[in-house]
Amino acid sequence: MARMTRYTLAAAILCTIAAVISGHPYSYQIVHTYPHDPKAFTQGLIYVDGHLYESTGLDGHSSLRMVDLTTGKVLQKHDLPSEYFGEGLTEWGSTLIQLTWKAHTAFVYDRFSFRVLKTFHYDGEGWGLTHDSTNLIMSDGTSYLRFLEPSSFRVTRKIHVIDDSGHPFDNLNELEFISGEIYANVWHSDEILQISPQTGKVLGVIDLHGIIDTRELEGGDAVLNGIAYDPANNRLFVTGKLWPSLFEIRILPR
């Protein structure tokens, strides 16, 4: 998500995360560290056909990018009009779909030329975006995830993201669909939730505390936000807003 007046999660949400971690904890191992543009306010991240695609935010600085994984170099870029704040990103066939924060508008691009093919309207805010085999899956900053029909953006169903005790998780942000589960980072935390797409139940939590030296970061908005998966090689990548590094990680039980 983007800059807002809430710069930390509510204590109740943090307690809920801690409770889940105690029951379903995962840690991580850094496999490789790659350079990342420290000026990129990362909102959405995906890996397709050997390249990273990234949506960046901030008013007047939002963009869609194709990025070389190894060097971090931006190979292709489309700047959004200044009135749009870029948010979540996913691919669908030969297209890319990018949300915006408060404009209720999603852009659909040709993945190869970045030409805008059409736009969609949606209610509420746009935060994160991913997809399973049949639906787009969208977060809006609440504890609910929406499933949308890709050609019309019509909401087909919703799930409520809760732990074993029924406590909800607000501030669901960047999303990635991996091996039948929805991965979601919780804004302004170092945790990634693993969520059942059928029930909304949190199946596990990956604790990424310490993955980056906070002395490398500037400002309260430089938080974890960016999950991408390479299914062909079973590689998981994470980064954050304004982070100078992107990490390939391996998930470990604790």
Q: What is the pLDDT of residues 28-81, one digit of tens each?
A: 999 999 999 999 999 999 999 999 999 999 989 999 999 999 999 999 999 999
What's the residue count for the chain? 254
CB-based burial label for 170 (10 Å; 0-12, 13-18, 19+): middle
Give the start-to-end residue ranges of the domains of the chain: 11-253
Q: In this predicted structure, what is the pLDDT of residue 8?
A: 36
Predicted local distance difference test score (pLDDT) of residue 103:
96
pLDDT classification of 147: cutoffs 50, 70, 90: very high
The pLDDT value recorded for residue 3 is 40
Whole-angstrom distance, CA of residue 9 vs CA of residue 11 = 6
Write the CA distances from 243 to 118, 178, 201, 228, integer angstroms: 31, 23, 30, 15
- Residue range 107-116, pLDDT digits in tens: 999 999 999 9
pLDDT at 18: 47
d(CA 230, CA 26): 20
* Percentage, residues of the chain above pLDDT 90: 84
pLDDT score for 120: 93
Could you say which architecture CATH assigns to the domain 11-253?
7 Propeller (2.130)
Q: What is the pLDDT of residue 2?
A: 45
- Position 154 scores a pLDDT of 95
Closest by CA to 196, choosing from 234, 164, 228, is: 164
Rg, C-alpha atoms of the chain: 17
Is pLDDT above 50 for 1?
no
210: left (phi over 0), alpha (psi -120 to 50) or beta: left
